[in-house]
Chain A
Amino acid sequence: MSGVTAFLRQPLVVALILIAALLWLGETLSPGFASGQQILRLLIVAALLGIVAAGQNLVILGGREGIDLSVGGVVSLSAIVAGNLMAGENAGIPLAVLACIATGAFFGLINGIGVTLLRIPPLVMTLGMLGVLQGLLVVVRQGIPSGRAAPALADFVSRTFLFGLPGILWLWVAVGLVMAFLLNRTVFGHRIYAIGSNEQAAFMAGVPVKAIRIALFVLSGVFAAIAGICLLGYSGSSFANVGEQYMLASIIAVVFGGTPLSGGKGGYTGTMAGAFLLVILQSILTTVNIDESGRQMVFGATLLVLMLFYGRGRSMRA
């Protein structure tokens, strides 16, 4: 009995059950919602969020109130940089990808340095960085014609690539595998958990705490940049602040995936489910015929209810 309860309380299981329930609900409200084609479309949207959430997940796992509020800014910037560099030409893709990843890594590096060497709280550092990125977006957009996605990139995101699935889903699966390998089978992964669970103890055991934490922020920037490129492919052309929505959504996806904001435990498999869950929820709300205000109220309230499924904080009275 308690074994079943324990199984049902696992974040990943919770997320999968909720996903199934929401798909069923969507299908009931609007027949065709849970059709294969439709689910594929939802998965593509979820992949974009999921890739951003991978970086967010790493930063949160590293503990010490790790959080990256600047991911949305990096996504937007990356989409613009990519759009401008490829300007609708396939030949521009390699350079664009390199430039975007370098950009993401650069801002991640600055975040990481601020958080570790200057010991600025992550929330503050990345919040400030978000302001810088938003300013930079305005500058970058000025005077440069808005870029367009290369055809190959658009196809990669939306068209079938392999075994009936678009390339972005394969990319997402690859990200999932890399993350799982990184976290469970590498020393780096074990060290992430170590600093997330007890930074002082990790330091005393010779873990290079600062280097690891900087690496986490760099990876977060890189994942956000990759998501930005994919987002460009998804929407065709880059426009202002496309990435803004990913800031808090990525955090929620991580939390719905069973990684608590305090870090030190959890993993990416749950986060993938969390991202999908969030996307389905949003999609249901757009499907249902209510106006924007109602949609927002239902969305907010549902998020709260879902959070209750993920277990609440410990009672102070044990």
Chain B
Amino acid sequence: MSRLQLKGVAKSYGATQALRHADLDIGAGEVHVLMGSNGSGKSTLSKIVAGSVRPDTGEIVLDGKSVTIGGPQAARALGIAIFYQELSLASHRTVAENICLADLPSRGVFVDRKALEARAAKYVALFDGVTGEGFSLHAVVQDLRADQRQLVEIMKTLAGEASVLIFDEATSALDRAQVERFFEILRDLKREGRSIVFISHRMDEIFAIGDRATVIRDGRIVGSRRISETAPAEIISLMVGAQEEAAAPAQAAPARPAGGTVLSVENLSGAGFSNVGFELHAGEILGFGGLHGQGQSAVLRALFGAGPPVSGSVELGGRPLHPKTPRETIRQGVAYVSGDRSRDGVMTGRPILENVMPIHYLRERMVLANPSALGAKALPALQALGTKFAGLGYPISSLSGGNQQKVVIARWLIDRPAVLLLDDPTKGIDLSAKADLFALIRKLAGEGMGIVLYASEDAELLDNADRILVFNGGSVRRELTGAERTRFNLYQAAYEAA
């Protein structure tokens, strides 16, 4: 019996159609997985159901009755709760306050502190033992780590005691133990007959928790399968679509390139990592692996001069490098691409041209900016990545996520750096953009650039890195070379007790 039905729901922002036509049917006691590359419309669809986005057309049927969801408040009243991918927490408030924020227990106009804490405690208790250090009802959210914040958002979603729960990438920062606990909770909810919409990019999670998977591509539902009757390959081919299947990730050449050392790091210690050392050769793609948040990003940011101060010694092309600010390291030939493009990469609302040029301005010490001369430099860089855009003058925000990231990467292609640091660069971009990106990286390496790649998806690492350093607890636990680069070895080193 279906709990929630979407009929022909569509939404467009200006000229971009985020959701073209969505029909969806979610049963009671079902975990319904939504799959699709970024920008395919999953989040838009979720937000429409949760009331924070207004649909252009279409009908939403809840328990057999057609409903109009006027806003997040109305959605809650109808029994719909959502975990927002970008979180919806008040960072200066405590964990308890955040969990109960939407429906504060009160006496008259006053907050009933006791009831508030009692209610919050109930949801915190669900994650007993996996919340990590410093987590308590009274902890202020901004003091928490990323995974802990995500847990708070989950608890907040659960506190809605809704009959329809939507989790939009709720596990992206969680470690394995946290994910497992979360899945136990989801199974309990399922048994209670609640309906769950679950969005994730991790195939293993989807097969672990899902009952049904619906694939959405370019704002259209392209297929729905029972999890028990399908396989990852089928889901992926639905996501990619027949015509794009050829654009699978590039395979790494396993041969060890013979270039000289371009970057050598010794005893590097800083916030989140200690005694990291490695040598990067010209033409090599060095992978950073391990569980999320084991110091990989921190090391890359430190090398780029974007992190807190570090100790240790770094040499770039034989000359000492003191990474203090990105400005200095860029001048010396270091490049860094962050996976968090909206925070570190994209200058929102500015034209594509202005988003491509800043590195060139710096390296050439330019003063004047002549658009046509700059355009001639920007175009080849953008084309090298197969970036799809209408014109250099269009705002970068008019592009899809993958194309935005391509623009950010194109920055570094005008004046070639000696070393390219990639910090989970494919986070949240679609498969074809990933393929374009990895093809380019391999080509750059072939031209002699030294590349460090941290990827949170193991497959990307195994497919693309010539050598993998596995991080655990802030230091390198193991180096995998040649035939050692297997999923098994990677997991073993990653999960080894630190």
Contacts and interface: CB of A to CB of B under 8 A. Distances in A.
B162 interface: no
Contacts of A304: none
Contact of B369 (A189, A202, A208, A316): A189
B358 A206 contact: yes
Contacts of A208: 327
Contacts of B343: 198, 200-201
Interface residues of A, number: 26
Contacts of A194: 347, 350, 354, 358
A185 B370 contact: yes
What class of interface size applies to chain B in its complex with A?
A: 35 or more
A197 B367 contact: no
Contacts of A198: 343, 346-348
A187 B54 contact: no
Contacts, number: 90
A119 interface: no
B110 interface: no
B134 interface: no
A182 to B, nearest CB: 10
A206 B354 contact: no
Interface string A211-249: 000000000000000000000000000000000000000
Nearest to B70: A317
A64 interface: no
Contacts of B368: 185-187
Nearest to A204: B344
A308 interface: no
A185 B53 CA distance: 38
B336 A190 contact: no
B370 A206 contact: no
Nearest to B71: A317
B426 interface: no
B350 A264 contact: yes
A305 interface: no
Contacts of A205: 326, 330, 358-359, 362, 411
A157 B371 CA distance: 36
A201 B330 contact: no
Given A204-B306, A206-B359, A317 B344 contact: no
Contacts of A148: none
A242 B343 CA distance: 43
Interface string A168-185: 000000000000000011
Contact of B358 (A188, A200, A202, A265): A202
B345 interface: yes
B354 A193 contact: yes
B37 interface: no
B327 A206 contact: yes
Contacts of B331: 206
B338 A204 contact: yes
Contacts of A201: 343-347
Given A197-B348, A204-B344, A205-B411, A190 B354 contact: yes
11 contacts: A187-B366, A187-B367, A187-B369, A189-B369, A191-B361, A194-B347, A194-B354, A204-B344, A206-B326, A206-B327, A207-B362
8 A-B pairs with least C-beta separation: A205-B358, A206-B362, A206-B330, A197-B347, A206-B327, A187-B361, A198-B347, A204-B344
